[in-house]
Amino acid sequence: MHTMNLSPDQQFSLDQTLGCGQVFRWDKTDAGWWYGVVGRHVIKIRQDSRKLTFEGASVPFITQYFSLDLDLQLILETIDRDPFIDSAIRRCQGLRLIRQPKWECLISYICSTNSNIPMIRRRIGTIAEQFGREIIFEGKKYYSFPEPSAITCSGGKALAECRLGYRTPYVFNTACAIGNIKQWEETITSMAFEAARRELMKLSGVGPKAADCVLLFAFQKHEAFPVDVWIRRIMQQHYIRNLSITSGLTGREYDCIRRFAREHFGEYCGYAQEYLYAARL
DNA sequence: ATCCAGGAAAACG
DNA sequence: CGTTTTCATGGA
């Protein structure tokens, strides 16, 4: 068991961070412990005011994973450009963007399309159960998220049982296309934002929204501003008055919204997106 | 039954 | 080229 004390000027809320919908494999018990599978390990963690208590990971790993090395206060000052975002920031104090495992994040957001968070969580869990490695922790079974080869080797038969609907071929095709995770990660990491975005969108099942989420939540490209139905509503009501009223979000509308956000909130507009999303209710 | 959910691909003018 | 339709699933 490790402990870690957060400095007074180091804002962090474990509940906001794990509960805001950016990540899908964490659960909180009634006793106040969060359990999550990250990589090959189960992590158990809790927060008591300024103290973090955890096992299954080292202090440097936790620091990296929860972006505790970043000066959140400074980032929030740069995006705090109007009363509406200011209120969202105050309501979601301590929310940080997680550095998610990249491949898992990619599949997660391929599975997220036209769906809701409980359903996405179930899909990721099912894929892990089908193809992942079993991990026993405190007598309970958990499953790591599988490598691409584990999914492609089955020839797609087992994937069809994961209830992904029309997303099944997207996941399979993308697993085939990625092949080597390390190489893929390095390629995307080395690219500038727009180029990386175009590269991700070549993958099956990856459109503008999924690409932006992966760039923001896994590659730390904070210029990304994912636009889902909620963000679109918020931007429409509070920021951009005259958007055309079509049922689906067209490519031009998406670009209009994300470019406005990049201008208005600045280079950390991705943080603004997550605060707006988390404060939506 | 109808609508909705952190959309994307295919089909269509 | 931009715009509409289709897609599978489960919960409300």
CATH number for position A121: 1.10.340.30
**How far is the C-alpha of A157 from the C-alpha of A252, rounded, in Å?**
38
Residue A273 approaches strand B within 7 Å at CB: yes
pLDDT number for residue A248? 65
Residues A252, A265 within the same domain: yes
Q: Which amino acid is at A210?
A: A
Residue with tokens 């104090």: A93
CB A116: neighbour CB atoms within 10 A? 9
**Cα–Cα distance for residue pair A279/A43, rounded to 1 Å:** 26
Q: Which nucleotide is nearest to A244 (CA to C1')?
A: C3
Helix/strand/coil percentages in chain A, nearest 5: 50, 10, 40
> Whole-number Å distance, CA A212 to C1' B10?
22
Instruction: Please name the nucleotide lying closest to A115, CA to C1'.
Output: B5
**What are phi and psi for residue A36, nearest 5 degrees?**
-150, 150
Distance A20 CA to C12 C1' (A): 21
The DSSP call for residue A2 is E
Find and give the residue nearest to C4, measured CA to C1'. Answer: A248
**CB A52, CB A14: distance < 8 Å:** yes
Place of tokens 């705090």: A80
Distances (CA, A) of A189 to A50, A141, A143, A183, A209: 33, 33, 27, 10, 18
Q: How far apart are the first and last CA of chain A?
A: 35
User: Mind listing the pLDDT tens digit of every residue in chain A (281 residues)?
Assistant: 999 999 999 999 999 999 999 999 999 999 999 999 999 999 999 999 999 999 999 999 999 999 999 999 999 999 999 999 999 999 999 999 999 999 999 999 999 999 999 999 999 999 999 999 999 999 999 999 999 999 999 888 999 999 999 999 999 999 999 999 999 999 999 999 999 999 999 999 999 999 999 999 999 999 999 999 999 999 999 999 876 555 568 889 999 999 999 999 999 999 999 999 999 98
Nearest nt by C1' to A112 Cα: B6
Q: Does strand B come within 7 Å of the CB of A211?
A: yes
Tell if A22 CB is < 7 Å from nucleic strand B: yes
Is A52 within 8 Å of A45 (Cβ atoms)?
Answer: yes
- Residue A220's alpha-carbon distances to A34, A122, A149, in angstroms, are 23, 25, 25
Nucleic strand B near CB of residue A208 (< 7 Å): yes
A127-CA/B9-C1' distance, Å: 23
Residue type, position A168, single letter: T
Q: Beta carbon of A258 within 7 Å of strand B?
A: no
Residues A239 and A210 in one domain: no
Question: Residue A281 CA to nucleotide B2 C1', Å?
Answer: 24
CATH number at residue A244: 1.10.1670.10
| Among the listed residues A151, A129, A96, A175, the one whose alpha carbon sits nearest the alpha carbon of residue A25 | A129
- Claim to verify: residue A78 and residue A166 sit in the same structural domain: no
How far is Cα A200 from Cα A222, in angstroms, rounded to an integer? 16
8 A C-beta contact, residue A271 and residue A84: no
CA A31, A34, A140, A110: dihedral to nearest 10 degrees?
A: 140
In order of A35, A51, A62, A67, A211, the CA distances from A48 in angstroms are 16, 5, 16, 18, 35
CA A106 to chain centre: 9
CA→C1' distance for A116 and C8 (Å):
13
The answer to whether the beta carbon of residue A221 comes closer than 7 angstroms to any atom of strand B is no
Output the distance from A206 CA to B5 C1' rounded to whole Å: 18
Instruction: Indicate if CB(A229) is under 7 A from strand B.
Output: yes
- Which residue places its CA closest to the C1' of nucleotide B7? A113
A114 and A200, same domain (yes or no): yes
pLDDT of residue A241: 80
* Domain range enclosing A186: 102-217
Q: How far is the CA of A247 from the C1' of B8 (A)?
A: 15
Residues A213 and A137 in one domain: yes
Q: What is the distance, to the nearest Å, from the Cα of residue A165 to the centroid of all Cα atoms in its chain? A: 21
Spanning CA of A249 to C1' of B13, the rounded length in angstroms is: 19
Both tokens of residue A219? Answer: 């590659």
Among A191, A217, A243, residue at a domain's last position: A217
**pTM, two decimal places:** 0.97
CB atoms closer than 10 angstroms to residue A168:
17
Q: Verify that A242 and A141 share a domain, yes or no.
A: no
Is A8 a member of any domain? yes
